[in-house]
Amino acid sequence: MPNPGEPGSSEPSMLQTVLASDLVLRPADSSALAARNDVEAVGTWLSARGGRSPNTFGAYKREAVRFLTWLHEQRLGLVDVKVEDVHRYIEHLRSPPDHWICPRKLADGTTRTSTQLMAGPLRENSISYARTVLTQLFGYLHDAGYLPRNAFKLSRRVSVVTQTQITRFLDLESWEWLWPWVCEQDGRNRERAAWVVRARWIIALLYHTGIRRSEAAAGLMGDFARTDQCWTLRVVGKGSKVRYVTANSSLLEELRIYRRHLKCRTPLPSPGEDMPLIAPLRTKQSNATMTGRNVGMIVSEIFKRACSECRDEHIASRLANASTHWMRHTNATHRLRAGASLLTTQDELGHADPKTTRIYAATMNQERVEDAEKLVRLTRSVPSDAS
Domains in the chain with CATH codes: 13-143 (no CATH), 172-367 (1.10.443.10)
Per-residue pLDDT of the chain (387 residues; tens, 9 = 90+): 333 344 444 334 445 554 444 445 555 567 899 998 999 999 999 999 887 777 788 899 999 999 999 999 999 999 999 999 999 999 999 999 999 999 887 777 778 888 999 999 999 999 999 999 999 999 999 999 999 999 999 999 988 766 656 688 999 999 999 999 999 987 676 668 889 999 999 999 999 999 999 999 999 999 999 999 899 999 998 878 899 999 999 999 999 999 999 999 999 999 999 999 999 887 555 566 788 999 999 999 999 999 999 999 999 999 999 999 999 999 999 998 888 988 999 999 988 888 888 778 765 566 777 788 888 888 777 666 654
pLDDT score of 288: 66
How many other C-beta atoms lie within 10 A of the C-beta of residue 89? 23
* Cα torsion 317, 323, 329, 333: sign: positive
Question: What was the pLDDT predicted at 181?
Answer: 96
Residue 110 exposed, middle or buried by CB count within 10 Å (0-12, 13-18, 19+): exposed
Closest by CA position to 323, among listed 311, 339, 310, 307: 307
Q: How high is the pLDDT of residue 4?
A: 36
Where are the extended beta strands (E) located within the chain? 224-227, 230-236, 242-246
Angle at 16 between CA 151 and CA 2, to 5 degrees: 100
* DSSP3 helix / strand / coil % (the chain, rounded to 5): 55, 5, 40
Spatial distance between the Cα atoms of 184 and 182, rounded to a whole number of angstroms: 5
In 3D space, the residue among 183, 180, 181, 219 whose CA is nearest the CA of residue 201 turns out to be 183
